[in-house]
Structure 1
Amino acid sequence: MKATEFTCLVITTRRGWEEGARQNLDVSDEGIMLKRDPSYSLERKVGGSTAWLEATDIVVDTCGVLYILDAQEDCILTYDPRNNRMERLRYGGVGGSLPGQFKEPRGIALSTDTLYIADTGNNRIQAFARINLQLRWIVTTTDAGGHAIPAGVGGNFNPVDIAVGRSDKRETMYALDGVNHRVLKFDAGGRFKGTCAETELEESVQIALDTAGFLYVLDKKRRKILKFSPEGKDELVQPEFNLEELNIEPSGLAIDFDGNVYVGDTRELKGKEEERFIHTFAHSGNYAGPLLGYQGSCAGIARDTCGNFYVITGKRDEIGFLRFIRERYAIKESGTFITHAFDSTEPGCRWHKMALNAEIPDKTHLNVYYHSADEKKALEELQEAEWSPLLPFYSSSMTLHEALIQGPPGRYLWLKLELISSDEYQTPKVRSIKLFFPRISYLRYLPAAYQEDEASKDFLERFLSLFESFLDDKENEITHLARYVDVEATPAEFLAWLGTWVGAVFDESWSAEKRRRFLQQAAALYKKRGTRAGLEEIIEIYTGYKPMIVENAQLYRQNTATRTSCGVNKELKSSLEHLFGAPTPHRFCVLLHPPQVRTEAQLKTIKSIIETEKPAHTAAGVVVLQPWFYLHLHTYLGINTYLSQPVMRLGITSVISRDTVLTDGEEAGQLERRSRTGIDTKLT
C-alpha cells in the first residue's frame, strides 16, 4: 500500500494543541500532559524578635537575596538565605520626611540597578542606586523632571504599591495610587508617563506584572484581580480572577513565569481551625486550588527565579520560606482534550485510522473517543452521547499507538482524548495526532467473496489492519531508503557507515556535523590529496579554523636579491631550527590556533589526519600555539597575540582636547560616584 493513497491530517505544534478545548492539561512545544501541580515545603521561617517588627512588603533579586520593608521601623533589611545573614540598609529607621527617610512605607520593587520604595506616609516614591544606595530621584506631587503629576478625584498622589517591568528594552515603574484608585506610570528616570486603570478600580491594594508586561491589580472591594493590557490606556482584558466564591480576605499578589496567579488570605479565624491558604489561579482565570505546602495567613508573597516562595505570614517577626520540592501532576480528575474539527473536504468520507505519538508510563492510560458528521459543529455543541469510544491505550514501550476508525462516514471528525493517571508523579504525554483517510485496507486485495457478509467483512478488515500497521512502517522505510545515502538527511548513526563508501574512518571526536561536512566535500578533497590546500581544508573541517603550514623550503631558501640565506645568518638559523626543526628537505610544520585543540584526543586525531593526508616522502611536525605573547617563541600577531587599544590615563598617556564633554548614561547623579550639578543633581 502506497503512502500516496492516503491523505494525512496532523496536530504536531503548540498552536495546533491550543486550538482545541482542554481541561486540566498543560500545553507545551512537546505536546499535552496533565496539569502540573508543584509541591512546596515550609522549610524555615526567616526572622527573629530583633530583626524587624512589621514586614509590609518583600521582593527577591536575581541572586536570591530577599529585600524586606519594615513599616514600623521605617527601614529596609536584606536577607541572604545562602549565608543565613540579615543586614539592615543604612537608609530609613528615623520615620522622617527628609530625602532617604521613610514614613509608613508599603511597597518595594527592584530593577537591574535601582531600588524603588513607595514612601506612603510621605506621599512619594524614592529611587536609590543599588550599587551604593545613593538617592537617584524623588517623586511627590511632581515627577523627577519637575513636571506636575495630575491630581486625582481623591486628592494628591499616594503610592501604596509599586512594580517594575521592561518592554522594548525600556524600564517602566508602575505605582498604585491608593487614594485615587489608579495606576501611574514612570520611566527609569522618574518622569511621569501617564495613568492607566483609572475607571475600573474601587479599593485597589496591590499590583504585580507578568513576564509579558500585563498588569494585575488586586481590588479588595470588588473581590477581583483585574488584568490590564500593556498596550493602551485602561484596556481591561480577560480573564478576570474572581475571588468572591473563595470567601477570603485577599492580600498578597504574585505572578509566576507561566502566568499563574497567587493570592493570599488574611481573614481572622476567631477560634476556628486554620483554613487559610495561598490560592492559585491558572493563566486562563480558572481556579487551580490552594498552593500545596502552606497553610496560614498570607499578607504578602514574593517568588524567586528557582520557583521558591517567600510569604509574609502575618505573625510578628516572621516570613515563611516555601521551597519547591518537585513537579507533581493534578490527578484528581482526568485531563481532557477535544480537537478542532478535522476537515476531509469530502462529504460522506470514511475515515481510516488514527495514530498517536504518545508516552504512556506505568499507572497511566489514555482513552480516545471520536465523532464524525457531515455538518461542522462548534466544540460546545458536541454532546457526550455522540462520542464513540476506541480501545484504551495502556503503558507500553512503544510510542506509536494506532486504532482503526469504525464509525459512520462524515466530512468532519473530532477526537477526544482523556489522560488518566493514578500516580501523581507520572503523566501520559501526547506529542502528535495523525488521521488518515479515505478508508483503504488489505481487504481489497482479497476475492470479492470475503466482502459479501458484513459481519465477517468487518472482522477481517480489523484483523488485516494489524498486519497493515506493521507493513506500512516497512513500506515507508523502503520508500524513503534514499535518505540513508543522502549526507544531509541520513540519521547520525549511519554517517560512519556512509563514510566507508569513500574510505573515511571517523573516531569519536568527530561530531555528526563535522562528518556531514567531510562527506559532502569528500570527492573534491580526494582530488587535492597530498597537497597543502587539501590538508588545510580537512583540518579546517575538523577544527573550524584554517591552520598555518610552514614548509622548510620557504624558510631556508636563498634570497636572490640579497644573495643571503638563513644558512649564512647563524642567529636566524638557530631560531628557526628551534621553532620548526632542522632544515631537512621535504619537511613542514602545521601551526594550530589555540581554539583548534581543546583535548588530547583532538590533537591525536589531527596528527592522524596529517599522517594520512601528507605525501609519503615528507615529514611533518605539529605545534599548538599558546594564547599568550612570548619573545623568541611562536608569537603571531592577530593569531595568538593581539595588541589592544591603549588605556586612557589623564596626564600620563592621554589629554582631553578642546570642545570635549564627558558624559555617562546614568539617569540620576550619584554622590561619591558620578554627579552633574544642574543636570542630574540639584543642591537644596
Structure 2
Amino acid sequence: MGADPGFRYLNLENRWPGCDYASHGLSVGDDGGLRLAKTSDGYRRTGAFIAGPIVVSDRPTDWQLLRVDVSRLPSNAHVRFFTLSSDRSDGSSSSPAPMVPWDAAATVVTSVANHLPRIPLDTWQAFPLDALHGRIFGEPGCFLWVAGALQGDGAVTPLVDQVRVDFDQVGSLSLLPEIYQHDESHAAIDPLLRLFEQPLGQASDSIDGLAALCHPWSAPDDGVESWLDWLAGWLGVNLDETWSESQRRCVVALAFGAHAKRGTAESLQNYLAQYGFRTRIEEAGSGLSLWSLDDGNLLGCNTQLAPAPPDGAVLGRTAIPNGSNLSPPDRVGAPLHEDWAHCFRLGLYAAESLSEDDLARIRRLIDRERLAHMSYSLCVILPLMRVGVQARIGVDAVVAARPRVSQLDTSHSLGGCSRLRSTDT
C-alpha cells in the first residue's frame, strides 16, 4: 500500500487546515471545536464542512477507520459524516472538487451491504446518523475527502472536537490462519473484522492496563472508592483519610511484605509510625536468662524466681504432692518464660505532647494490630534520667531541666524524689 501505518487529524492546534466550513454555515469556537454558526437568536439549524484532499503517499492508501470526538451532542441535534477516496486530486473528472455529499447530484452510498467488499472510487460513503466511529469501505486511493453535516433546532448545536482517519494499519486479519490472508479473502474479511476492532480494542486496552491498576504506584486514587482503596482492601490495609497520596501509596506498596512480620515488635512499631507516633517497644521475655549473683546481677533488682521448675516435677527433687507442675517432654523449660513470653511494653516519649485522645487512639491501633494472645502495658517515658534506674542512652535517658525544690509532704519522700535548695540560689 502507501505510507507507513498511521493516522491523520483534521484539527491541528484548534485550527482546521484544509477544511472548508465557513462557507457552509459552521464556525470554530474558542475551544477549537466545529459548531453551527451563531445567529441573532441562537444558532443556524444546519451546517457542514468538507476537508481534503488528505494525502500520505504517492501510491494508493488503504483508508480504514474514521473516528470522531464529539463533546456535545444534545438529543435534538445530530451529526453525519461522509468519506470519499479517489486516485485524482480533484476527486472527480468533471469538477475541481468532488460534489458535496448533500448535493442531489452527488453519488452517495448509504448502505454498504450492496457494495461489499469495497465501495468504488469517487463515491461518497455515508455513515449512519450520529455514528462517531466506522469502517471506511472505499477502494484504496491516493486521496481522501472527509465531510460532515451538523443539524440543530436553532437553540443548540453539536460540538465536533476532532476527526481522525486511520490508514494502512495491521488489523485483526493478521491473527487469523494464513488461509484467510490471501488476496481473495483479504478484501472481503478485513473490512468486516475492522468493524469489531473498536469495541474489542477497548476491551484489549482494558486488559493491557490491568497491571497498572493493580500496582500501588500507578493505580488511580480518585473518587470515593478508588482503585488504590480496592488494593488496600485486598491486602487488609486501613488507609487513613488524613494521609497524603504518596503516603497512602507507600503503605499499600509495603503492605504485602509487612504481613510476613505482622505481630512482631518491629511491625507494630512501624505500624504506629505510619500514624505519626514515635514509640519504643520492649518484649518482657527478651531479657530473661539464667542468672547468678555476681557484679552484673543484683538480688531483688534484676533477678526473679521462676514460677515453676524448668524441667517439671522430678521424683526425689521437685515432685511435691499437690504442689508440682507436670510438663510434657516438648515443654521442658517453658515455665521459665510463661509469665512473660507474650507480654510487651510500649513506651511513648513525653516530649511528643500526646493528648488523652492520642493515647486512646494508640490503644485502638495496638488492639487492632497486636496478636490476640498478647498483652501489653503503655508507658510514658518522662524526663527523669537516673543512673541505674532510667539511663539507657538512646532509649529512656531523657535529660530535663532542673526540677523544682521539693517540699516535704505526702507526695515527696526524703532521699527518694526530693531535692534540697542549693546555697547559690
> Comparing both structures, which one devotes a greater share of its residues to helix?
2
Task: Kindly indicate whether structure 1 or structure 2 has the higher relative contact order, using CA contacts under 8 Å at least 6 residues apart.
Answer: 2
TM-score calculated relative to the size of structure 1: 0.31
TM-score calculated relative to the size of structure 2: 0.46
Structure of larger gyration radius: 2
> Comparing both structures, which one devotes a greater share of its residues to strand?
1
